[in-house]
Structure 1
Amino acid sequence: MKKDITLFTSARPELKFFRLSECKEHLDTAAMWAKNAWGYMHLDDEQFHYKQLQELCEHVYIAMYDGLPVGMLAVIEKTLSLEENREESSEKIVEEPSTPEITEMKNAYLDYVYIDERARSIGLAGIIIEKAKNLAREMNAEVMSLETLNSTLNGFYKRKGGRVICEGRYNDSYPTEVMRLRF
Structure 2
Amino acid sequence: MTPQQLYNELNYVNHSREKRQYYANLVIDNTDLVPLLLDILFQVNDPISCRAAWVFEFMCSKKLEASLPYLDTFTNQLHTVHRDSAIRPVAKVCEYLVTTYYNQPQSQVRQKLTESHKEKIIASCFDWMINENKVAPKAYAMNCLFLLGSDNTWIHPELRGILERDYQMQSSGFKARARHILKKI
Q: TM-score under structure 2 normalisation? A: 0.31
- Higher relative contact order structure (alpha carbons within 8 Å, sequence separation ≥ 6): 1
Q: TM-score under structure 1 normalisation? A: 0.32
Q: Greater share of helix residues, 1 or 2?
A: 2
Q: Greater share of strand residues, 1 or 2?
A: 1
